[in-house]
Chains A and B, each alone.
Chain A
Amino acid sequence: MDHLYELENRSVYILREAYAKIGNLGMLWSMGKDSTVLLWLARKAFFGHVPFPLIHIDTHFKIPEMITYRDRLVRELGLDMVVGANLAALEAKETFPDGKLDRLGCCAALKTQALRQTLDGSGPRVRFDHARGEYLPEKEAQAFQGVIVGVRADEEGSRSKERYFSARDSRSEWKVANQAPEFWNQYKTEFAPGTSVRVHPLLDWTELDIWEYIRAENIPTVSLYYNQGDGKRYRSLGCWPCTAPVESEARNVDEIIEELKVGKFATIAERSGRAQDKDDGGSLETLRRDGYM
């Protein structure tokens, strides 16, 4: 069986297990290529439908095309879209671009903290109202028990230690050393009250697998990934103050795959354009123990 479809098969199985076993489930969608593949896999698993809300943590520093792309797909596919943000930090200008925090502190506030309070329902959330065509504040927001996340083991060291089903205690903490075993398509799907769970259907995928699958399935992706004629493209999407485009001539999926296989990026890490990863050695593992994706 083709390697890509072996990956697809396992991911679809995991998505269906998550849907069957976890109440109040949501899926993070950052509009990047990985979570867009995840969205596609959800439609594969559920026959065109996405039977749970998508969640976007909006730092308000995202590249504007990403938000346009998000809202276009929300309308076209009738997606149930929930958006959360750390409005308190944004209003107090407690951010890196405003000069009050370093990069990692900013990630902690606008992503980790925002994510935590969006998932547990304590922070402000808006939800797209399809009848009115706009986002409306969510009243009585419920906590999500589970969230599906598109992390890959090859992205970065700490993610390679993840399980497909990863339970977090009530403070979103991740206990790396003491994880549940996973074998034979059996996952940890029984939880003590108050436990939340992260589901990682893309754990086995590599950056190259993602692009080859996008090509094989003809999945629409945001234009920022492609060189529009200025010799630059984004390899990884994030907030504009911390994410730089890379020099690249790749104008389409075929050219990106070629570049990853034999071109200039064959030996350079994908997140090399992400400034926050460089601020200290084990930074992402520290962030992740705390609840970062």
Chain B
Amino acid sequence: MDSGHMNIVFVGHVDHGKSTIVGRLLADTNALPKGKLEALQESCARSGKPFEYAFLIDALKDERAQNITIDTARIFFKSKKREYLILDAPGHIEFIRNMVTGASHAEAAVLVIDANEGVMENSRRHGRLLSLLGIRRIIVAINKMDLVAYSSEVFERVREEYAAFLQGIGVQPAAFIPLSGREGEGVAHPAKAMPWYHGPTILEALDAFEKDAPPANQPLRLPIQGVYRFQGNGDRRRIIAGSIASGTLKQGDPLVAYPSGKKTSVESLVGFNRPDFTQAGAGEPIGLTMREQVYLRRGELLCKHGEPAPQVSTRLRVSLFWIGQEPLVMGRQYLLKLGTARQKAELESIESVMDATSFAAHDKPTQIAYHEVAELILRLEQPIAFDTGDELPQTSRFVLVDGYEIAGGGIVREGLVDSGSSLRREVYQRSEKWIHGRLSSEDRAARFDQEPALIVITGPRGSGRKRLAAEMELQYFEQGRLVYYLGIGSVLYGVNADLMEERDPAHWQEHLRRFGEVCHLLLDTGMILIVTAVELTQHDVDSLRIIVGLEDLRVIWVGGPVTTDLVPDEVVDHF
């Protein structure tokens, strides 16, 4: 399954010789335009400065800017085995955002360390970044061996130091290669000057990499990218669209969406210009229609019933690199994007910071600065579905957005228990056993030209909650909507009559759970539901949200100021 191309990236500390090695690779694999090398060597001789292979890269970039040949926009070279594309070829690689952008599309990386200078901060930082970005094919090039008299002792010393570091972060490089980019020893030709070295050259080590097919035995993960209902040309299909992150999908497969826990199954796979489309695998963008119509939205993660389920939580232990202009700090709101899901996120605590040179004096770092890599705990406003990095890398990767900019990237290491964990388990169980008709709440709601919605009105006693609810109900009704007003009292003395006898505050959670279940039933009819209850807390509202399976509730506090920890969408005076 080799596509004949491999994207590679060169990283490492500045001046450790990335450009020289690339220049040498291009020259030795005849990847340069005819006469280029000779012309440069001549011009160097004329101006009396020693020729360096790194000049080739600069020369190619000039040429690129002047738009002369077709392929210099991106730098290619060919081995006997395949064609390589160098992403973000050295030069502006010092800008770490570009490095991350380039390296994330790489399938293999060459990490360059100067034998003379040894392991530097960036050698470690870039190693760590490659590991976080998920690049598993790594070659460590120990360069400038000519400056240390091709000494095997020096090579061993650097190799041991760096191997120990890589082991500590769980990276297994394919090879440590001693070489001299300037002299061309060990790049594309074997290192004659180092008879003690019997391993591969850079080119041989690159060629030894296999392009593996995506593992077929992984569980299905399909982040929903959109739910489409295009009306043109008599099209009536409701299509769930997304790209398969892992696993396989075929007609008839039973599906569960997370975090909602809703169940359905695949009626058909759909695609444009794809006749006989009945199964799909990792990487493929697909569309599907559902056999059981449930209300799904962008951001949910579709999984296969019977396969290992993803985790769902609001608290994540993560490894993260930070490339934001402002540091990552406590008490500031960020946006976490994982797959197609997005949630508001805050930094809960910092466990450790790697290479925290700027905070070396502090035992407890309080922020993560540009360039730093850290282990920390994030708290999300709403739960998200994910996997951990060692289970399924694709669905463990996320970015953090600060303001409008992507400012960090990371991997979920562990999902932590949060206050909604047990409630979600119940909801998933209920969803699994749910008996479906052929209509979804969306279909029912569409008849009234609305979306199912829950409006929660709370506040102190006597503030006019019920009057507001009754007024809103009437207004919606007069607009032709399907609407219902349900006060919590209507449930307390009926559905919950058994609990009322004991009048024990410990029963509040159970009251609320049953109230939520009644709301869930009503919302499934597609209606706009208005509920009232006295002085709800944030936890109460979060619990309701989990039970009804709607992300966006409208929460109104009547008779401000707010007397609980609730953060309502609106606060209104006494009504």
Select the residue from B67, B230, B397 with max chain A CB neighbours within 10 A.
B67
Pair A160/B74 contact, Cβ less than 8 Å: yes
Report the bound CA distance from A9 to B245 in whole Å.
Answer: 12
Report the bound CA distance from A163 to B5 in whole Å.
Answer: 21
A40-65 vs B, CB cutoff 8 Å, 1 = contact: the mask equals 00011111110100000000000000
Pair B404/A13 contact, Cβ less than 8 Å: no
* Nearest CB of chain A from residue B248's CB, rounded to whole Å: 13
Select the residue from A49, A51, A179, A186 with max chain B CB neighbours within 10 A.
A186
* Nearest CB of chain A from residue B404's CB, rounded to whole Å: 4
Report the bound CA distance from A51 to B239 in whole Å.
Answer: 14
Report the bound CA distance from A56 to B287 in whole Å.
Answer: 29
Q: Given contacts A3-B4, A153-B74, A160-B74, is CB(A181)–CB(B69) below 8 Å?
A: no
B241 contacts which of A9, A16, A160, A207 (Cβ < 8 Å)? A16
B64 contacts which of A157, A188, A270, A271 (Cβ < 8 Å)? A157
A150-162 vs B, CB cutoff 8 Å, 1 = contact: the mask equals 0001111111100
- Partner-contacting stretch, out of A66-74, A94-102, A249-257, A280-288: A280-288
Q: Given contacts A181-B323, A183-B133, is CB(A47)–CB(B67) below 8 Å?
A: no
- Partner-contacting stretch, out of B35-43, B96-104, B494-502: B96-104
Pair B1/A1 contact, Cβ less than 8 Å: yes
Residues of A within 8 Å of B213, CB to CB, are 1
Interface assignment of A12: CB less than 8 Å from any CB of chain B: yes
Residues of B within 8 Å of A259, CB to CB, are none
Pair A157/B66 contact, Cβ less than 8 Å: yes
Residues of B within 8 Å of A284, CB to CB, are 67
Interface assignment of A191: CB less than 8 Å from any CB of chain B: yes
Interface assignment of B559: CB less than 8 Å from any CB of chain A: no
Interface assignment of B187: CB less than 8 Å from any CB of chain A: no
Pair B284/A9 contact, Cβ less than 8 Å: yes
Pair A49/B235 contact, Cβ less than 8 Å: yes
Report the bound CA distance from A64 to B66 in whole Å.
Answer: 31
Residues of A within 8 Å of B65, CB to CB, are 157-158, 281-282, 285
* Nearest CB of chain B from residue A188's CB, rounded to whole Å: 6
Q: Given contacts A16-B285, A277-B67, is CB(A153)–CB(B226) below 8 Å?
A: no
* Nearest CB of chain A from residue B371's CB, rounded to whole Å: 13
Residues of A within 8 Å of B232, CB to CB, are 49, 78
Closest to B99 in A: A181
A12 contacts which of B105, B285, B406 (Cβ < 8 Å)? B285
Interface residues on B, range: 35 or more
Report the bound CA distance from A41 to B391 in whole Å.
Answer: 33
Pair A44/B273 contact, Cβ less than 8 Å: yes
Report the bound CA distance from A279 to B11 in whole Å.
Answer: 37
Report the bound CA distance from A183 to B87 in whole Å.
Answer: 13
B290-323 vs A, CB cutoff 8 Å, 1 = contact: the mask equals 0000000010000000000000000000000001
Report the bound CA distance from A12 to B74 in whole Å.
Answer: 23
Closest to B70 in A: A269
Q: Which chain B residues in 221-248 approach chain A with CB under 8 Å?
A: 225-226, 228, 230, 232-233, 235, 237, 239, 241-243
B271 contacts which of A13, A47, A184 (Cβ < 8 Å)? A47
Closest to A11 in B: B285
Pair A160/B64 contact, Cβ less than 8 Å: yes
B3 contacts which of A2, A190, A191, A269 (Cβ < 8 Å)? A2
B255-290 vs A, CB cutoff 8 Å, 1 = contact: the mask equals 000000000000000111100000000011101000
Pair A51/B70 contact, Cβ less than 8 Å: no
Residues of A within 8 Å of B283, CB to CB, are 1, 6, 9
Pair A163/B101 contact, Cβ less than 8 Å: yes
* Nearest CB of chain B from residue A267's CB, rounded to whole Å: 6
Closest to B325 in A: A178
Residues of A within 8 Å of B70, CB to CB, are 154, 207, 267-270
Pair B73/A183 contact, Cβ less than 8 Å: no
Report the bound CA distance from A277 to B104 in whole Å.
Answer: 32
Residues of A within 8 Å of B404, CB to CB, are 188, 190-192, 195
A188 contacts which of B225, B241, B270, B406 (Cβ < 8 Å)? B406
Report the bound CA distance from A267 to B283 in whole Å.
Answer: 33
Residues of B within 8 Å of A16, CB to CB, are 225-226, 241-242, 285
Select the residue from A3, A190, A217 with max chain B CB neighbours within 10 A.
A190
Report the bound CA distance from A51 to B271 in whole Å.
Answer: 16
Residues of A within 8 Å of B335, CB to CB, are 190
Q: Which chain A residues in 180-217 approach chain B with CB under 8 Å?
A: 180-186, 188, 190-192, 195, 207, 217
B233 contacts which of A1, A78, A159 (Cβ < 8 Å)? A78
Q: Which chain B residues in 38-88 approach chain A with CB under 8 Å?
A: 64-71, 73-74
* Nearest CB of chain A from residue B24's CB, rounded to whole Å: 23
Interface assignment of A131: CB less than 8 Å from any CB of chain B: no
* Nearest CB of chain B from residue A259's CB, rounded to whole Å: 13
Q: Given contacts A47-B272, A183-B104, is CB(A3)–CB(B74) below 8 Å?
A: no
Q: Which chain B residues in 3-20 approach chain A with CB under 8 Å?
A: 3-5
Interface assignment of B466: CB less than 8 Å from any CB of chain A: no
Q: Given contacts A9-B284, A184-B409, is CB(A159)–CB(B272) below 8 Å?
A: no
Report the bound CA distance from A282 to B403 in whole Å.
Answer: 34
Report the bound CA distance from A13 to B213 in whole Å.
Answer: 20
Interface assignment of B381: CB less than 8 Å from any CB of chain A: no
Report the bound CA distance from A66 to B235 in whole Å.
Answer: 30
Closest to A2 in B: B3
Interface assignment of A290: CB less than 8 Å from any CB of chain B: no
A sample of 29 inter-chain contacts (CB < 8 A) reads A3-B5, A9-B243, A19-B226, A44-B272, A45-B241, A46-B228, A46-B272, A47-B287, A49-B233, A51-B228, A51-B230, A78-B233, A155-B73, A156-B67, A157-B73, A158-B65, A181-B97, A181-B406, A182-B104, A182-B406, A183-B133, A183-B399, A184-B134, A186-B399, A188-B405, A190-B335, A192-B404, A271-B67, A282-B66
Additional pairs, 7, CB under 8 Å, beyond known A51-B230, A192-B403, A268-B70: A1-B3, A3-B3, A9-B243, A47-B230, A47-B241, A157-B66, A181-B98
Q: Ordered nearest first, which 10 A-B pairs have the shortest CB separation?
A: A183-B104, A160-B73, A12-B285, A49-B230, A181-B97, A157-B64, A3-B3, A190-B404, A186-B399, A157-B65
